[in-house]
Amino acid sequence: MCGIIGYIGNRQASPILLDGLRRLEYRGYDSAGMALQNGKDLQVLRRAGRIDNLALLVAEKKPQSHAGISHTRWATHGAPTDENAHPHRDQSGKLALVHNGVIENYQTLRDALKLDGHLFTSETDTEVLAHLVGKYYDESSDADPVQRLISAVQSALVRVKGTYGIAVIHTEAPEVMVGARLGSPLVVGLGEGEHFLASDVSAIVAHTKDVIYLNDYDVVTITKSGFDVKHLEGGIAKVLVSRVDFTEEDAEMGDFPHFMLKEIYEQPQSIQNALRGRLSRDEATAVLGGLQMSPQELRGIDRIILAGCGTAYHAAMVGEYLIETLARVPTEVEIASEFRYRNVPTDKNTLQFVVSQSGETIDTLAALREAKRKGIKVLGIVNNVASTIARETDGGIYIHAGPEIGVAATKSFTSQVAVMTLLSLLLGRIRNMSSTDGLELIEEMEAIPDKITAILKQADHIKEIANKYAHVEGMLFMGRQMNYPVAMEGALKMKEISYIYASGHPSAELKHGVIALVKPELPSVFIAPHDAVFEKNISNIEEVKARKGPVIAVATEGHPGIEKVADDVIYIPRCPSVLSPLLTVIPLQLLSYYVAVARGCDVDKPRNLAKSVTVE
Ligand code: F6R
């Protein structure tokens, strides 16, 4: 949520900052801005709206500068206006600051600063932080402006309650840029004669692959030629240089019109990446070294809790069915934001997993910290290897899906489910699953990528269905067992990118209330693969048809009959029912994508949303 990029070096800063902001735009897109050192004062350029608006201003002003900070915003405090856009200046106008996160005590700080004569021009918490740093800078008697700036940042941040990733510049210390983080990611990019600060490596991967992921309470100073990391309250900080494992192209759209479509089509590959090296045919099991738990320890687990938000929560719901079906371990799923405020009973044999694509979702992070506080062992199912959640868990399973840029999660869902299938296989094999069943599951899992490819070939058919229903006022999604979470995921996809109201339900719940909504203008999507509840799903479809509700069905090929009751059918290849969510979700992703396109929606940047939700 929100994106930061800062540059200091020998090149012109503004094109680098603009390019970085475009790569970060999925993090927030309601306003953008940059502040540039120009030798005497700061040039601050800000615009409400998309990065293109800022780009026009930059083209008009032609700033000349080799150092600057920039930001793309997802509004928390104050409407998306030019005035509320970052960077914000201090009282003197010589300091500029960009900020991701939320300053919870900003009102108290603002009132105190006002009493000191500070005047504010925006409604943001960030401007308060800029003034606070500026106040400490102005009050300092240190003759060295660089030291003054670093100490001012430290003094201000110890007074702050909340979360931040910041970058700060000052006209009196033009050779440095100061950054700091607490709960909001910040990374240092190391170049030849140039350095970067960014909230996300995708902003800087075109320039360098050598990075330092800062830890909470780190304060970093970068210059053209070097960097220095200190702890917020003084003392040395631990520094580890990492190599980014994806390329600039991985985070680009290529020939696809949208990131979402590209990521839907990447799923045969991303699932292969999730499975690679983790299936042992000899032992008929999964090999998950990242769990860092012996078979004895895993056998001692008598309860599993899975926590996540949004799509990750839906994947966790599938995980609950998988673990209980294949491994017979009692499992519960928790919405991460609820878990942290509940007092869920646990004991020493409880194992918790937090599921998160970004690894930065604040609610999921808070659930992780709450569980650890209670002494529970917490493992991660995470995509972003350098993320806070990845670093704070006691181990886990990376999903290796590659960068997911589309705001609507797609490939991360299937990779999370694939990884939870591996986990269930491993847990099952050390309990009561036979090697024959284990091997059969392995073979079926290996066949999934090709089956997804076969579904993707039906994109034109799905597009036709999407066009037919694109202008409805709402949609219901129905599924049973493992496909109930898929129904919820299908509804979430439809809502977030097409703005059609949609809800997901267990099919049998229809007659307990939802059926009151059924009418010709409200289609129902039934996920009805050929499984133990297929006939029940057919009965539910009949109930909808009897009330003149249109029905789109996702069904298994080779089982004729459903086309007699449903108006439109999308077929998936046969697979064991435990693996069906990996296939049934694909038509729903495509359906929501094509409905959104038909409605003229901005698929990759849906209104009011942003990727990676780092505020509560
Ligand atoms: C939906 C979506 C969100 C995320 C949720 C959790 O398409 O993208 O619901 O799934 O914000 O995000 P992560 O997985 O990054 O924790």
Q: Which residues line ligand 1 (CB under 6 A)?
A: 309-312, 356-358, 361, 364, 408-409, 492, 496, 612-613
Is 458-616 in the same CATH topology as 253-453?
yes
- CATH code of domain 458-616: 3.40.50.10490
Angstrom distance (rounded) from CA 135 to CA 486? 53
Residues forming a β-bridge with 67: 8
191: left (phi over 0), alpha (psi -120 to 50) or beta: beta
Indicate whether 85 pLDDT > 80: yes
Q: Whose CA is nearest to atom 9 of ligand 1?
A: 310
The verdict on whether 377 is a catalytic residue reads no
Helix (H, G, I), strand (E, B) or coil at 138: helix
If one counts every other C-beta atom within 10 angstroms of the C-beta of residue 398, the result is 18
Q: Which of 358, 405, 414, 386 shows the shortest CA–CA distance to 249?
A: 405
The number of the ligand 1 atom at minimal distance from the alpha carbon of 358 is: 15
pLDDT, one tens digit per residue, over 366-386 is 999 999 999 999 999 999 988
pLDDT value, residue 78: 77
pLDDT value, residue 79: 83
Q: Give 25's pLDDT tier (boundaries 50, 70, 90).
A: confident
The number of the ligand 1 atom at minimal distance from the alpha carbon of 310 is: 9
The catalytic position among 2, 309, 575, 601 is 2
CATH of 253-453, one of 3.40.50.10490, 3.30.980.10, 3.90.550.10, 3.10.20.600: 3.40.50.10490
pLDDT value, residue 120: 96
The number of the ligand 1 atom at minimal distance from the alpha carbon of 413 is: 10
The verdict on whether 309 is a catalytic residue reads no
Q: Are 177 and 197 in contact, with CB atoms under 8 Å apart?
A: yes
**Residue whose CB lies within 8 A of the most ligand 1 atoms, among 314, 355, 361, for a mutation test:** 361
Helix (H, G, I), strand (E, B) or coil at 145: helix
Angstrom distance (rounded) from CA 538 to CA 486? 17
DSSP letter, residue 513? T
Find the helix packing angle between 267-275 and 435-456, rounded to 10°.
160
Q: Whose CA is nearest to atom 10 of ligand 1?
A: 311
Q: Give 396's pLDDT tier (boundaries 50, 70, 90).
A: very high
Q: Alpha carbon of 9 to those of 188, 211, 239, 363, 463: distances in Å?
A: 13, 16, 21, 37, 48
The number of the ligand 1 atom at minimal distance from the alpha carbon of 311 is: 10
Residue recorded with tokens 């926590």: 307
- CATH code of domain 3-251: 3.60.20.10
Q: Whose CA is nearest to atom 11 of ligand 1?
A: 310
Indicate whether 1 pLDDT > 80: no
Mean pLDDT value across residues 460-474: 97
pLDDT, one tens digit per residue, over 48-81 is 999 999 999 999 999 999 999 999 988 777 788 8
Indicate whether 454 pLDDT > 90: yes
**Residue whose CB lies within 8 A of the most ligand 1 atoms, among 358, 383, 414, 616, for a mutation test:** 358
pLDDT value, residue 67: 98
Q: Are 610 and 407 in contact, with CB atoms under 8 Å apart?
A: yes
> Which carries the bigger pLDDT value, residue 193 or residue 387?
193
Indicate whether 246 pLDDT > 90: no
What's the number of CA atoms in the CB half-sphere (13 Å) around residue 528? Answer: 28
The number of the ligand 1 atom at minimal distance from the alpha carbon of 611 is: 8
**Residue whose CB lies within 8 A of the most ligand 1 atoms, among 357, 364, 416, for a mutation test:** 357
Give the distance (Å) from ligand 1 centre to CA of residue 616: 13
Average pLDDT, the chain: 95
The number of the ligand 1 atom at minimal distance from the alpha carbon of 384 is: 15
**Structure-token pair, residue 408:** 């609507």
The catalytic position among 135, 262, 411, 611 is 611
Give the distance (Å) from ligand 1 centre to CA of residue 311: 5
Give the distance (Å) from ligand 1 centre to CA of residue 611: 7
Give the distance (Å) from ligand 1 centre to CA of residue 447: 27
Give the distance (Å) from ligand 1 centre to CA of residue 610: 9
The number of the ligand 1 atom at minimal distance from the alpha carbon of 612 is: 15
Mean pLDDT value across residues 271-291: 97
Helix (H, G, I), strand (E, B) or coil at 497: helix
Give the distance (Å) from ligand 1 centre to CA of residue 513: 29
Q: Which of 70, 23, 33 shows the shortest CA–CA distance to 196?
A: 70
The number of the ligand 1 atom at minimal distance from the alpha carbon of 361 is: 16
Give the distance (Å) from ligand 1 centre to CA of residue 604: 14
Beta strands 67-73; 164-170: pairing state: unpaired
Angstrom distance (rounded) from CA 241 to CA 206? 17
DSSP letter, residue 567? S
Give the distance (Å) from ligand 1 centre to CA of residue 381: 13
Q: Alpha carbon of 60 to those of 37, 45, 54, 55, 608: distances in Å?
A: 17, 11, 10, 9, 29
Q: Give 15's pLDDT tier (boundaries 50, 70, 90).
A: very high
Indicate whether 429 pLDDT > 90: yes
Q: Are 241 and 207 in contact, with CB atoms under 8 Å apart?
A: no
pLDDT value, residue 250: 83
Mean pLDDT value across residues 87-113: 96
Q: Whose CA is nearest to atom 3 of ligand 1?
A: 310
pLDDT value, residue 189: 98
Provide CB contacts within 8 A for 487, sequence distance 6+: 477, 478, 479, 504, 505, 506, 507, 525, 527
**Residue whose CB lies within 8 A of the most ligand 1 atoms, among 26, 309, 353, for a mutation test:** 309
Q: Give 614's pLDDT tier (boundaries 50, 70, 90).
A: confident
Provide CB contacts within 8 A for 470, sequence distance 6+: 498, 594, 595, 598, 599
pLDDT value, residue 75: 79
Mean pLDDT value across residues 501-506: 98
Give the distance (Å) from ligand 1 centre to CA of residue 95: 35
Q: Which of 134, 76, 39 shows the shortest CA–CA distance to 608?
A: 76
Helix (H, G, I), strand (E, B) or coil at 33: strand
Provide CB contacts within 8 A for 413, sequence distance 6+: 311, 312, 314, 315, 489, 585
Mean pLDDT value across residues 227-239: 90
**Residue whose CB lies within 8 A of the most ligand 1 atoms, among 340, 383, 405, 613, for a mutation test:** 613
Give the distance (Å) from ligand 1 centre to CA of residue 267: 17
Q: Are 187 and 197 in contact, with CB atoms under 8 Å apart?
A: yes
Angstrom distance (rounded) from CA 243 to CA 259? 24
Domain ranges across the chain: 3-251, 253-453, 458-616
Q: Give 458's pLDDT tier (boundaries 50, 70, 90).
A: very high
Angstrom distance (rounded) from CA 498 to CA 474? 10
Beta strand segments in 325-395, E: 331-335, 350-356, 377-382
pLDDT, one tens digit per residue, over 468-491 is 999 999 999 999 999 999 999 999
Indicate whether 453 pLDDT > 80: yes
401-438: b (≥16 Cβ within 10 Å) or e: bbbbbbbbbbbbbbbbbbbbbbbbbbbbbeeebeeeeb
What string of H, E and C letters represents the secondary structure of 52-93?
HHHHHHHHHHCCCCCEEEEEEECCCCCCCCCCCCCCEECCCC
Q: Whose CA is nearest to atom 16 of ligand 1?
A: 356
Q: Are 91 and 51 in contact, with CB atoms under 8 Å apart?
A: no
**Structure-token pair, residue 86:** 């970052």
Give the distance (Å) from ligand 1 centre to CA of residue 358: 8
DSSP 408-471: S--HHHHHHHHHHHHHHHHHHHTTT--HHHHHHHHHHHHHHHHHHHHHHTTHHHHHHHHHHHTT
Indicate whether 306 pLDDT > 80: yes
Indicate whether 340 pLDDT > 90: no
Angstrom distance (rounded) from CA 587 to CA 463? 10
pLDDT value, residue 74: 83
Indicate whether 307 pLDDT > 80: yes
Q: What radius of gyration, in Å, describes the C-alpha atoms of the chain?
A: 26
